[in-house]
Amino acid sequence: MHSEPIVDTAVNPGKHQSDPEKWVDLHSDFLFSYAYSRINDEELARDLVQETFLAALEKPGAFRGESSERTWLTAIIKYKVIDVYRKKARAFTTKEGYGMPADDEDFFDPELNNWKKEHWPEPFVCKGTDPLEDKEFMDILQKCLQKLPSLWMSVFRLKHMDDEKTEDICKALRLSASNYWVIIHRAKVNLRSCLQKNWI
């Protein structure tokens, strides 16, 4: 599907199709909330918005009206967000590979590989019928998520917020496929246990 360029070149002859002086009013709030919701750091999110506009200015030729101006700017800030994830990931991978917290507990018996008895999953009992509609349950999950190491959160954000494919997440965060699965597995087992502990 081809859409028309949003800026009519006939009205602005000689100019490229995007007017940088309008960018801030048109897109800064959107870009800020895009970045903030992904990195959860207000100051850093503001910096990324500014850097995005300045980077876009450097290469006005890159915008050809094939997609909307906002899509173009979002692609730039997305790259910058992933760069933040990657820097955080690197801090971990140099140490132990999977971004494990120091006090990470093994939920499985090291020899037999079955669940340790104290970690046996038990069914969640929800007061309402649907846990998806249970606000209290969601709040607990939210708190449990916040305890995860940042690399694991980055993986979940790319997976659930942006619906990125596994191979793209691995590429973005420079993870091997097996590292990726270890992270998903550890993170889910941890989350599940945190939910069970806090949901009574």
Partner 1 sequence: MSKQLKTRREKILYNCRKATLLIERKHEVELTPRERMELELHLAGCYICRVYEQQSILMNGLMSKIFKAARVEPRLDDAFKDEIKKRIKGRIIRGI
Contact between 41 and partner 1 per CB under 8 A: no
3-state helix, strand, coil in the chain (%, to 5): 60, 0, 35
Give the one residue of 9, 71, 121, 174 binding partner 1; rule: CB under 8 A.
Answer: 121
Task: Give the Cβ contact number of residue 165 at 10 Å.
Answer: 11
Contact between 50 and partner 1 per CB under 8 A: yes
The residues that bridge with 115 in the sheet, in sequence order, are 108
Give the one residue of 7, 44, 100, 195 binding partner 1; rule: CB under 8 A.
Answer: 195
Give the one residue of 2, 113, 118, 129 binding partner 1; rule: CB under 8 A.
Answer: 113
Task: Give the Cβ contact number of residue 3 at 10 Å.
Answer: 9
Size of the site for partner 1 (CB under 8 A): 49
What phi and psi values does residue 115 have, to the nearest 5 degrees? -60, 135
Site for partner 1 in 160-189 (CB under 8 A): 160-161, 166, 181, 184-185, 188-189
Closest CB 2 distance from partner 1, rounded Å: 28
Site for partner 1 in 3-22 (CB under 8 A): 20-21
Closest CA to 50 of 25, 26, 87, 24: 24
